[in-house]
Amino acid sequence: MSLIFPKGFLWGSATSAPQFEGASSIGGKSETVWDYWFSTSPERFHGGVGPERTSDFYHHFETDIENMKKINMNSLRTSISWARLLPDGERINDEAVSFYREVFKSLIANNIKPIVNLYHFDMPLRLHLQGGWENKEVVYEFAYYAKTAFELFGDLVSDWVTFNEPMVPIEMGYLNDKHLPAIYDLKRAVKAAFHTMLAHSHAVKQFKEVIKEGRIGLILNLTPTYPKSSEPEDVQAANWADLFFNRSFLDPAVKGEYPVELITWAKQIGVLPEYESDDVKVIKENPIDFLGVNYYQPKRAQRPVNKDHTSVLSLHHYFEPYVWPGRKMNPHRGWEIYEQGLYDIAINIRDHYGNIPWYVAENGMGVEGEEQFLNESGEVQDDYRIEFITNHLEWLHKGITEGSNCFGYHVWTFVDNWSWLNAYKNRYGLFRLDITTQERHTKKSGMWFRELTASNHLQRKMNDECSTDG
């Protein structure tokens, strides 16, 4: 039995400039926070591998696009490097313009639709040194950068995205030490998050003024949140987690306004950032045209159990994670696998967000030590990845057949790429990358994906409980 996906469904993969492009110190690009952090603290990066070379798409893009065509990808989401396009914030780097135009032209010539993101965690260093997203002036710098990109590439690219996972730099940089500035300060986190949202809305406004035929969206890492029990305290804990990590960006982006309970909470504990009436207006008047959803794992919440977390400025005051006894794990990454979460996201968007057009912008399985799955001919036998994608697509298809307006599915990622502090520790690609020679080799999942994208049909393998009428 096979499941048929809608005609014109987007099949492809996602990546980003800082993780894929390489050439970090050439081509006129200026430094980003990652270039700076690696230069000052290389020991924090797995294997001592920094952002200089990554997957070297900068020098291999023609070959990579040929390989994308070979596996029948009809779309690719990547990003532009802000620090490459506008090295000093004002001057346009002609070499960057030539590179990106060649990439977009090559994609189109191979019938691969480019979806272009403007920001993927790669803050230019000069702006980081000025306070990053805590500095409201960066909002206007971002709007100028967005306008410049729309004017330079709008004749080639119709679908744009402002930010990928805007919550991640907030959570990992202001409530953790995995991104710069690597501090724990909830008030500064809220301020940076608000300015990020404001930058998004100003970019959407610029888009509507520059691009007459196209659409613009935002990519969020939505984590469906499940309470430990049906008891009110656990349900409330799950609601807090959903409010902080999902609705804080989802609601203003789609509905044009923040949840009332989030504003009330911020006022009560004294973390509401300063704002002007025009800020509220620009968010209200610039909702997105489509939504991208990155989904890897759910969030499971319970009432606070640690009595030491009494401060209202600690998120543990509101909820704590818990381990679901029935969970299925990716033993090679340490993350829970819960395929039904994708269906729950689809139905939530359908029922609570006006059934806005959306697509799965990232979904994939990271594996540490993937060399152990190489066969004698050097091909990675990643049946686990095929099963992972298949099971998620079954639940996605169920959501589509029940009316959710999903138009595509992108794997993370096409070829193994660099991931922040983890570098190449966890491999996600449909193609394997030899980071010494930069050679690319198709994995078993890449060949499987080729058949899937060519047919637009998914052969069901398991998951009888996920019954569909497809």
Which are the catalytic amino acids?
165, 362
* Secondary structure (3-state) at 184: strand
- Count of alpha carbons within 13 angstroms of residue 223, beta-carbon side: 25
* Secondary structure (3-state) at 403: coil
* Residue that the structure tokens 């169920």 belong to: 398
Alpha helices of 211-339 — where are they, by DSSP H?
232-242, 248-255, 260-268, 277-284
Is the Cα torsion angle 21, 23, 27, 30 positive or negative in sign? positive
**H-helix or E-strand spanning residue 350:** helix 340-352
Structure tokens, 167? 């919550």
Closest by Cα among 23, 59, 56 to 424:
56
* Secondary structure (3-state) at 106: helix
Structure tokens, 254? 């789609």
DSSP 272: P
* Residue that the structure tokens 């996972």 belong to: 165
Residues contacting 130, CB < 8 A, separation 6+: 137, 138
DSSP 64: H
Structure tokens, 6? 């809608």
Contact 228, 302 (CB under 8 A): yes
Beta strands 367-368 and 335-337 are unpaired
Neighbours of 154 (CB within 10 A): 17
Structure tokens, 44? 């924090």
Structure tokens, 31? 């430094």
**H-helix or E-strand spanning residue 201:** helix 186-210
Contact 373, 443 (CB under 8 A): no
What span, in angstroms and rounded, lies between the C-alpha atoms of 390 and 380? 18
* Residue that the structure tokens 């935002």 belong to: 218
List C-alpha distances in Å: 178 to 202, 274, 379, 429. 28, 27, 33, 23
Label residue 85 exposed, middle or buried (CB < 10 Å: 0-12, 13-18, 19+).
Answer: buried
